[in-house]
A and B are shown apart, each in its own frame.
Chain A
Amino acid sequence: MIEQYLLSGVTTGAIYALVALGFTIIYNASHVINFAQGEFVMIGGMASAAFFEAGIPLPAAVALSIATATLVGVLLEKLAVGPAREASVVTLIIITIGASILLRGLATLVWDKKIHRVPAFSGETPIALGGATLLPQVLWVLGVSAVAVALLAWFFRRTLTGKAILAVSHNRLAARLMGISVRRVLAVSFGLSAALGALAGVLIAPIAFTSWDVGVMLGLKGFAAAILGGLGSSAGAVLGGLALGLIEALGAGYLSSAYKDVFAFLIIVAALVFLPNGLLGRRAAERV
């Protein structure tokens, strides 16, 4: 039985990791907690369902939905977060909360309030692995997430844009003085986070279905995972996501599915009390 829980935990954990990475990237670039992150996940799932139902083959539908979400992310930065750049962090958070409400409202208008299905990428026949059975979609989730994380690491370390994003996250003024366009970095960060969120939505939609408000809880869990791992640390986001997924799955399996979230949040709060900067967060010392 435990293999089943572990597998299920790692699967949801991979999704949480992708969402958490989205939070981390935006936070690093702009110090904003983007409460609309969950809505990108929702757009990924709902848009691919809609495109597919309109007759577009699945691979193209998936690609289009990720592109749509990316566009929404960039627009969010350009129209909402960017203009309010000088405002306090709390104000920016409220703006993203407003954006999440707006996006959910748009989703009910453009699509509907029903639950939608997206077909699995490569069929529904369960595979037996060790003591567990898994859907092929789970392999897609794990595989694609791993590739995405690896690509991100390469992007941040090896490409100029990636390094520019890192520079802005460390010291915005210095980056600007080096000729880096902070506006462009912010736009790329939001677009990238949106793409990651949409990817997560697309991967999980065949398993967990999708609807207009699926982003609320997923966004919340992604945020929790990012904080657990250490806000600002990409490795922390991945670690936090996997940890949260596993804690939830084990809680659901051994305690009760009603209290799996209580269990997970209790552990997160306890972890924060002992490690205020998260598992991998840096201890920032205040100079006085």
Chain B
Amino acid sequence: MASSAGARPSASRTPLLALAILIAALPLALPNNYTYEIAILVGLNAIVCVGLNLLIGYAGQISLGHAGFFGLGAYGSAILAARGGWPASISIPVSLIGVALLAWAIGRPILRLKGHALAMATLGFGIIVSIVLATEDRYTGGPDGMAVPPLASFISGEKTWYWIVAAALIAAVWLARNLIESPRGRALRALHGSEVAAGALGIDAAAHKLSAFVISALFAAAAGALSAHYAGFITPGKASFLHSIELVTMVVFGGMASTFGAVVGAAVLTTLPQLLTVFKEYEMVLLGAVMMLTMIFMPRGLVPTLERAFAAARQISR
């Protein structure tokens, strides 16, 4: 095999371009507001998943509480905007800074944990956040949630929001890919491959895990804030354990260590329940069955399995 010293950088720009084209062309296929709404939901989930994939797929950590960051980002901006009267252009960045600080503070002790202990600690964090959000009703409106002012008076309607979320998603994917392809991305993958060897090469494991954790928390919080201003409403259910599990499932389903896998996973597992509502009471059974069957037959996730199938097909046709 010949060494391809310069080949890689340009190769990676194509998928991003393809995604941008797809997103730009998609509205042509969306017939009504409901489909736009689903597309926006997909985009928001995809932003969280791209960040979560950095943590799970590349850094090899686990978080079963990421919906907590989503909820904190959402409520942070909602409370500052609704109760404090701040404009969204300020409430969102401030909320994100707050989440970053919190993620940094709790990440430091809990990222020393590994495997199931880390899963449990992140799970605990997520549950604590969702309970606090539901209980402190003076600030948060309690279990029924609270109303959220719009992003700006001139921003409303599904079509406008589609472009806002699309831009945010492209930005998220761009940032994530840049990180992954950089030496820091290699450092993360090294940590995942062998933490001990990575340390012996001068990679500060704790610092890198923490930065992956904080970055993924920021992606989740940003998506949360956008979702709150889009819906005009936010409930504690957005920070629930079930939502956290949904997010992890999307990442694994789409394919870990694959940014586009995260997007695909979000797309499939956001639209699928919507499609299945026609089956009414069979929705849960079908969703569960689909999840199980896909993971049994495509254990590496959707995108890596398809990538392999294409590569194999190309080999055969040569």
Residues of A participating in the B interface, judged by any CB pair closer than 8 Å: 33, 35, 80, 83-84, 86-88, 90-91, 94-95, 97-106, 108-109, 216, 220, 223-224, 227-228, 231, 258-259, 261-262, 265-266, 268-269, 272-273, 276-278, 286, 288
Q: Contacts A94-B295, A258-B135 hold; do A265 and B127 have CB atoms under 8 A apart?
A: yes
Instruction: Give the secondary structure class of A's interface.
Output: helix
Q: Contacts A98-B288, A101-B287, A269-B110 hold; do A227 and B120 have CB atoms under 8 A apart?
A: yes
Does residue B62 face the partner (Cβ distance < 8 Å to A)?
yes
Q: Identify which of residues 265-318 in chain B touch chain A, using a CB-to-CB cut-off of 8 Å.
A: 281-292, 295-296, 299-301
In the complex, what's the smallest C-beta–C-beta distance from B35 to chain A, in angstroms?
25
In the complex, what's the smallest C-beta–C-beta distance from A281 to chain B, in angstroms?
9
A273 interface neighbour in B109, B116, B286, Cβ under 8 Å: B109
In the complex, what's the smallest C-beta–C-beta distance from A90 to chain B, in angstroms?
6
In the complex, what's the smallest C-beta–C-beta distance from A113 to chain B, in angstroms?
9
Is A259 in contact with B285, judged by CB distance below 8 angstroms?
no
B120 interface neighbour in A86, A87, A100, A223, Cβ under 8 Å: A223
Instruction: Give the secondary structure class of B's interface.
Output: helix
Query: How many Å lie between the Cα of A234 and that of B301 in the bound state?
Result: 33
27 contacts across the A-B interface (CB closer than 8 A) = A80-B296, A84-B299, A87-B295, A87-B299, A90-B256, A91-B252, A91-B299, A91-B301, A94-B248, A94-B252, A95-B292, A95-B296, A98-B289, A98-B291, A99-B288, A101-B284, A101-B291, A102-B285, A103-B288, A104-B288, A105-B283, A109-B281, A223-B123, A227-B120, A231-B117, A265-B127, A276-B112
Residues of B participating in the A interface, judged by any CB pair closer than 8 Å: 56, 62, 109-110, 112-114, 116-117, 119-121, 123-125, 127-128, 131-132, 135, 196, 241-242, 245, 248-249, 252-253, 256, 281-292, 295-296, 299-301
What are the residues of chain A within 8 A of B112 when measuring CB–CB?
Answer: 273, 276
User: Which 7 pairs from chain A and chain B are nearest by CB?
Assistant: A102-B288, A105-B284, A98-B291, A87-B299, A101-B288, A105-B285, A265-B124
CB-CB nearest in chain B for A100: B288
Is A108 in contact with B284, judged by CB distance below 8 angstroms?
yes
What are the residues of chain A within 8 A of B292 when measuring CB–CB?
Answer: 80, 95, 98-99, 102
CB-CB nearest in chain B for A105: B284
Is B285 in contact with A94, judged by CB distance below 8 angstroms?
no
In the complex, what's the smallest C-beta–C-beta distance from A266 to chain B, in angstroms?
7
Query: How many Å lie between the Cα of A269 and that of B252 in the bound state?
Result: 25
What are the residues of chain A within 8 A of B291 when measuring CB–CB?
Answer: 94-95, 97-98, 101
What are the residues of chain A within 8 A of B285 when measuring CB–CB?
Answer: 102, 105-106, 109
